[in-house]
Amino acid sequence: QKEVEQDPGPLSVPEGAIVSLNCTYSNSAFQYFMWYRQYSRKGPELLMYTYSSGNKEDGRFTAQVDKSSKYISLFIRDSQPSDSATYLCAMSAGSGGSNYKLTFGKGTLLTVNP
Amino acid sequence: GAGVSQSPSNKVTEKGKDVELRCDPISGHTALYWYRQSLGQGLEFLIYFQGNSAPDKSGLPSDRFSAERTGGSVSTLTIQRTQQEDSAVYLCASSFDRANRQFFGPGTRLTVL
């Protein structure tokens, strides 16, 4: 079992739809959770960064972490064609040790159709 | 402010040749990371530098891979005797400290023929 599982999609939605992207993980030591957006042939761009469980909202984006279920989500409201990209979840352990090592999901390819 | 920059953006080489990939981190960032992104494999950690501390090289796939960071800033990833399986996008990231807000460069796309 891989440490981080992410459905690769592809996911295709109409403009304006609410998008839900998810990852599951197996390592209970993970404390930091991130979502990156990667456009084709570009580097990953940090979208959301959360610590431990709970919700975090930034504009049209909401990140949720449920540590009891080892499940994280990214919601995109009022999706736009410019949101079309690959979304990568990433996570790392808490303080100490190798907490700088990010473990990534394989990414979900999202297309928002105008 | 400038982000992480990498050069070259693309590199095509022949099997058996050596290649050097360069990374310029964000000014003031003390931590620097290299990752590899391969089709079907996702992003894999390669190496981590933090200040003057010994780097964490635990992710390097073989002894053909090495990296250095001079003056606490620019880093070079060297792959010796390249193989076709080395073909991938090599991404560099930096952060203010060993915390986890890592900011990535655009990557170097390496193709080994």
Tens digit of pLDDT for each residue in B80-110?
A: 999 999 999 999 999 987 666 899 999 999 9
Name which of B95, B112, B92 is nearest B22 in CA terms. B92
Name which of A7, A30, A19 is nearest A111 in CA terms. A19
Q: Cα–Cα distance between A107 and B33 in angstroms, integer?
A: 20
The answer to whether A104 contacts B43, with C-beta atoms less than 8 Å apart, is yes
pLDDT at B1 over 60: no
Tens digit of pLDDT for each residue in A60-78?
A: 999 999 999 999 999 999 9
Residues on chain A touching B40 (C-beta within 8 angstroms): 106
For an interface test with A, give the residue of B43, B47, B90, B103 to mutate (most A CBs within 10 A). Answer: B43
The answer to whether A104 contacts B42, with C-beta atoms less than 8 Å apart, is yes
The answer to whether B4 contacts A43, with C-beta atoms less than 8 Å apart, is yes
The answer to whether B104 contacts A98, with C-beta atoms less than 8 Å apart, is no
pLDDT of residue A9: 87
Residues on chain A touching B105 (C-beta within 8 angstroms): 43
Q: Tally C-beta pairs within 8 A across A and B.
A: 57
Amino acid at B20: E
Q: Cα–Cα distance between B51 and B32 in angstroms, integer?
A: 9
